[in-house]
Structure 1
Amino acid sequence: MPSPTRRGFLVGGLTALTLTTGTGAWALDRYVVDHVEVADASAYEAQQGSTGAELDTSQAVLTDDSWSADGTTITVRKVSTGSGSQVVTYYVADLVLSDATVLRSAFAGDAFGTNIVDETSAIAEQNGAIFAINGDYYGFRETGMVIRNGVVFRDSGAREGLAFYRDGHVELYDETATDAQSLVDTGVWNTLSFGPALVSGGDVLDGIDDVEVDTNFGNHSIQGDQPRTAIGVIDDNHLVLVVVDGRDSGYSVGATMTELATLMQGLGSVTAYNLDGGGSSTMFFDGDVVNQPSNGGERGTSDILYVKG
């Protein structure tokens, strides 16, 4: 039983692939070899007419833990709680956005497809980001809605997703009950497809410690104490993004899904959603990775959420 001092807390990310005889070639092609569907995602977005707010950063103000420009403010803080083998260390980024489209998505290599990866910090730097976290690792799977920066990249509903609207509100939705173009037509700017949902209507959801996000090869379970990444909604254009470090006794053991949900609720989230975690869990701010990824360094991922500096 976790110590009560830890109450108030993310996703044991993608586990290492084991290539076995008879399935090795298939698994290598399915989970390792790059499959590019859109080679220049930025050009594709421009062609599709994607537009978002542009920040005037000429008067940007940066301190050790905050950044503001043109009505958008980002504040980052580190928190440690518990003691001994039960200590948990996590990072909280409070984002108040002047416009919902200031929060953007970017793909590794500016390419859309499967198995295309780069480090969160590298993708962030390539896109001039002041702040970024890892996304939902869309490229590990072939299902799930992928709408990024107002453009449809994949329309294959499979699970409960999270939709960010241009008017600033964010909502959970059933991917299988709609289609991507309908979402864009109603104002969706970005979608995330991982999960599970952690908080809905201000309440921590039941059963989330037993959820299996995927049943595909190498990613059956996200249970137990793990490094985690999550995003919460406090109000329209007011978000809280959290990275919990883990797998390092004495520094941070990680968090269960319910602990993560309780943490998000305690930070004021009325809605919260779990993203890819484990070795992927990374927070980038002002040119540096601020947390300690559990692999001893960053693990490649397929996408990030970021604010341009």
Structure 2
Amino acid sequence: MSTAQPAADAAQTPAPRHTRRRFLLGGAAVVGAAAVGTAAWALNRFVIDHVEVDNVAAYEAMNSSVSSTTSSTAQATDVTVTDTGYTSSLTSISIEQVSTGSGSDTVTYYVADIQVSDATAVRSAFANNAYGTNITALPSTMATEHGAILAVNGDYYGFRSDGILIRNGVIYRDDGVRDGMAFYTDGHVEVYDETSTDAQTLLDAGVWNTLSFGPALVQGGAVLSGIDNVEVDTNVGNHSIQGTQPRTALGAIGDGRYVFVVVDGREEGYSRGVTMTELAQIMTGLGCDCAYNLDGGGSSTLWFNGQVVNRPSNGGERETSDILYIAQGA
């Protein structure tokens, strides 16, 4: 299967959408130059789009470390889609809903069990086909634009300006500060310390996609300790991801076999959400050798075959900056 974006896709840049998130900037009134300066800073930091690459499809087609001549060129045949799964000659996906507990202790989550013959079938997409900060779109919109059969919200890279960010074989950011997750072209997945390496070293070793959120949940098949006290961001924003929350996690069971998990929450009697340790236990229960936490809360979204499968806690999808997906026909 070719990993380079088709020329037609590269030429069709979606019209920009400029959705603005509202933030409370002060009390009943903002008075004085200092307050005005703070408001301007907050708008620039959290609201105003900052586009660095305005046509990601074309950029990746020109710069990806994995080209159509070095990746699998096999085309999927025997494609079958059902309400709960997808199979082809190259890929299989099965979707399962799991509920545990009862009453106020009920937890409901969704598992996408994925087996791919070409690891580059797991791809990333950015909102509005643009790279930068504060650029957002609905996961369903991104998935539809990229012909996905399956998609899950990503790490909301656009909220922060640090971390190591490699997507579809292209380096976008190289500022290691936390534990990350790396998907390799040979199918294996690792959680790693971003501060111990750099983006070019990872790319040279065959990394296809990285994620920078966290924390890492599972390593060597064991739940990592201290994960309920981790702070992901050191900048202004959501410092803490603690407590019982909706969650999104990715895990690897073996080379080319992955699980995407979305846990619903904040809805008593249907799903309360889970702690970080409970999420890690879900991942080990699925057989994961390694697993990693992604952006959660209202962002947690699992999309399959044209519809959102889970029940996002906001009552509907929340716009975010990126998704991971598998294309129809992979």
Into which bin does the TM-score normalised by the smaller protein fall?
over 0.9
1:161-195, CA deviations, whole angstroms, 9 ceiling, x for partnerless residues? 11111011111111112111111111000000000
Deviation at 1:55, TM superposition (A): 6.1
Distance in 2, Cα, partners of 1:96 & 1:55:
16
Distance in 2, Cα, partners of 1:137 & 1:78:
25
Match of 2:54 among 39, 55, 68: 39
Provide the residue aligned with 1:167 in structure 2.
186
Deviation at 1:139, TM superposition (A): 0.3
Residue 177 of structure 1 aligns to which amino acid in structure 2?
Answer: S
* Greater Cα shift, 147-156 or 48-57: 48-57
Specify the SS of the correspondent of 1:145. Answer: strand
Residue 62 of structure 2 aligns to which amino acid in structure 1?
Answer: Q
Specify the SS of the correspondent of 1:36. Answer: strand
Q: How many residues align?
A: 295
Provide the residue aligned with 1:24 in structure 2.
39
Match of 2:115 among 96, 121, 146: 96
| C-alpha contact 1:55 1:69 (8 A) present in aligned 2 | no
| C-alpha contact 1:18 1:218 (8 A) present in aligned 2 | no
Higher relative contact order (CA 8 A, sep 6+): 1
Write the mapping of 1:139-288 to structure 2, written as runs, cut at 5 A. 139-288=158-307
Question: Which ranges of structure 1 fall in alignment gaps of 5 or more residues?
Answer: 1-14
- RMSD (CA atoms): 1.4
Distance in 2, Cα, partners of 1:165 & 1:204:
22
Question: TM-score with structure 2 length normalisation?
Answer: 0.87
| C-alpha contact 1:19 1:28 (8 A) present in aligned 2 | no
Distance in 1, Cα, partners of 2:252 & 2:297:
22
| C-alpha contact 2:180 2:192 (8 A) present in aligned 1 | yes
Provide the residue aligned with 2:3 in structure 1.
none
| C-alpha contact 1:105 1:305 (8 A) present in aligned 2 | yes
Distance in 2, Cα, partners of 1:45 & 1:71:
23
Distance in 2, Cα, partners of 1:253 & 1:54:
44
Deviation at 1:254, TM superposition (A): 0.3
Write the mapping of 1:54-65 to structure 2, written as runs, cut at 5 A. 56-65=75-84
Q: Is the radius of gyration larger for structure 1 or structure 2?
A: 2
Deviating 4+ runs (over 3 angstroms): 15-18, 52-55
Distance in 2, Cα, partners of 1:255 & 1:217:
24
Distance in 2, Cα, partners of 1:280 & 1:231:
15
Question: TM-score with structure 1 length normalisation?
Answer: 0.93
Identity %: 62
| C-alpha contact 1:17 1:217 (8 A) present in aligned 2 | no
Residue 286 of structure 2 aligns to which amino acid in structure 1?
Answer: L
Question: Which ranges of structure 2 fall in alignment gaps of 5 or more residues?
Answer: 1-20
Q: Are the structure 2 counterparts of residues 296 and 156 from structure 1 closer, same or farther at C-alpha, using a change threshold of 3 Å?
A: same
| C-alpha contact 1:232 1:240 (8 A) present in aligned 2 | yes
